[in-house]
Amino acid sequence: MLTFTIRRLILAIPTLLFISFIIFLIVKLSPSDPTAGLPLTIPPEVRAQIRESLGVNDPLFVQYFKWLKLMVWDEPLHLFEGWTGWNAAPDDGARIISYQTRSPVTELIAQRMPQTLWVVGVSYIVGVLIALPIGIISAYRQYSWFDQIGTFISMLGFSVPTFFTGVLLIVIFAVNLGWFPSVYDTTHKVTDWDSFIVQLKQSIMPVMVLGLFNASQMSRFMRASMLDNLNQDYVRTARAKGLGERTVVLVHVLRNSLIPVVTVIALNVPAIFGGAIITEQVFKVNGIGQLLIIAIQSGDIPTVQTVSFIFAVLIVLFNLAADVLYGVLDPRIRYD
């Protein structure tokens, strides 16, 4: 199992290198000038010197490796230093600086990560908690009215885009009924019971929008996987030796059906971060997705590169986690 994990880990490195190169290249190849934002009064020869000092004229690979070193070595060290107070980071002052705020991008991301993690994490848990029972009951009572309604709603759930459900919920619950606030206030601090209720109220809509979207995909997987297992021989054996129906379904079948579903749960995590970009925009959550959008709209290339790279790392990491998890859960997959 250890060799399997190590092998997957080593395979993930070239993938990440390649993706980081693509991210770097897209920005590099784009016909934009890093000195375009500077005042027009700067004479051309000074402008050329600024370009030289920014390293624009270096060979492409030199530029790429410099950027990569900053991204995967220096910046994490700075973050580490900020958390622990140890003097770990290099002192040459090279950081990835946002064009907009003139502060290091990692600090911006660190400020915005908690909001995103809260909304995304809670909605993911809510989604899984909704999806699993629906999938199990739908499969166990296939073609019943519960199954018909369940499959229709899950079809609806992943056909209706989150930016429409979000806006619809705002129209109904914030504009017409006035139950929940339409804007997520991230400066709100939970100190006592009342402020906790406020926090709950403002999280309900974003969490439900993302959670229902996930639940609709996951319940389909759960249903299909349960259906695959319900007709297997071992289920008949379990029934034949007199086990109760509850034990057969919830212990024997469920455990086997969860194997593919668990990997799907892991694989979908990056997708939900992508979905969070839109949800954060709808509910004005100032998370990492909104940071990306603002950075894109104002042409803040270092921030865009860093956030995209973080998304890529997330995808590769969770793919890896799904692979390893599959190996742990299903001994047939390991080839060591």
Using the rule CB under 8 A, is 175 a contact of another protein? yes
170 lies in the binding site for another protein (CB under 8 A): yes
The residue range among 53-61, 224-232, 245-253, 300-308 that interacts with another protein, by the rule CB under 8 A, is 300-308
Q: Does 9 bind another protein (CB under 8 A)?
A: no
List all residues 6 or more positions away from 302 whose beta carbon is below 8 Å from its beta carbon: 96, 97, 98, 99, 105
Select 49 or 148, whichever has its Cβ closest to another protein: 148
Of residues 243 and 314, the one with the C-beta less far from another protein: 314
Stretch that binds another protein, among 30-38, 53-61, 110-118, 229-237 (CB under 8 A): 30-38
Q: Is 49 in the site for another protein (CB under 8 A)?
A: no
Out of 50, 153, 160, 321, name the contact with another protein by CB under 8 A: 160
> In this complex, which beta carbon is closest to another protein, that of residue 132 or of residue 277?
277
Q: Residues 15, 3: contact at Cβ < 8 Å?
A: no
Q: Counting contacts by CB under 8 A, is residue 155 touching another protein? A: yes
Minimum separation from the CB atom of position 191 to another protein (A)? 31
CA dist., res. 33 & res. 195, Å (int): 48
CB of 26 to another protein, least distance (A): 6
Q: Which of 1, 6, 9, 32 binds another protein (CB under 8 A)?
A: 32
Tally of CB atoms within 10 A around 316? 17
Among 308, 323, 325, 327, binds another protein (CB under 8 A): 308
- The gap from C-alpha 64 to its chain's centroid, in whole angstroms, comes to 26
Residue 209: CB minimum distance to another protein, A: 13
Residue 321 binding another protein, by CB under 8 A:
no
Q: Is 122 an interacting residue with respect to another protein (CB under 8 A)?
A: no
Examine residue 68 and tell whether it contacts another protein (CB under 8 A): no
238 vs 315, beta carbon nearer another protein: 315
Tell me the three state secondary structure of residue 104.
strand
Residue 25 within binding range of another protein, rule CB under 8 A: no
Say if residues 127 and 215 touch (Cβ distance below 8 Å). Answer: yes
What CA–CA distance (Å, rounded) separates 65 from 82? 24
Residues 115 and 288: their CA atoms lie apart, in Å, by 8
Binding to another protein (CB under 8 A) within 216-275 occurs at 270, 274
Tokens of 272: 């939900």
Q: Which of 290, 259, 165, 142 is nearest to 215 (CA)?
A: 165
Q: Taking a C-beta distance cutoff of 8 angstroms, is the pair 47, 38 a contact? A: yes
The residue count for binding another protein (CB under 8 A) is 46
Cβ-based neighbours of 185, under 8 Å, separated by 6 or more: 202
Please, are residues 291 and 108 in contact by the beta-carbon 8 Å criterion?
Answer: yes
Q: 165-194 burial, b for 16+ CB within 10 Å, e for fewer?
A: bbeebbeebbeeeeebbbebebeeeeeeee
Smallest separation (angstroms) from another protein to the CB of 175: 5
To the nearest whole angstrom, how small is the minimum distance from the Cβ of residue 195 to another protein? 26
Closest CA to 72 of 4, 14, 17, 130: 17
Task: Report the SS3 class of residue 111.
Answer: helix
Q: Which residues contact 85 (CB under 8 A, 6 or more apart)?
A: none
Q: Which residues bind another protein (CB under 8 A)?
A: 15, 18-19, 22-23, 26-27, 30-32, 152, 155-156, 158-161, 163-164, 167-168, 170-171, 175-176, 182, 270, 274, 277-278, 281-282, 292-293, 296-297, 299, 304, 307-308, 311-312, 314-316, 319
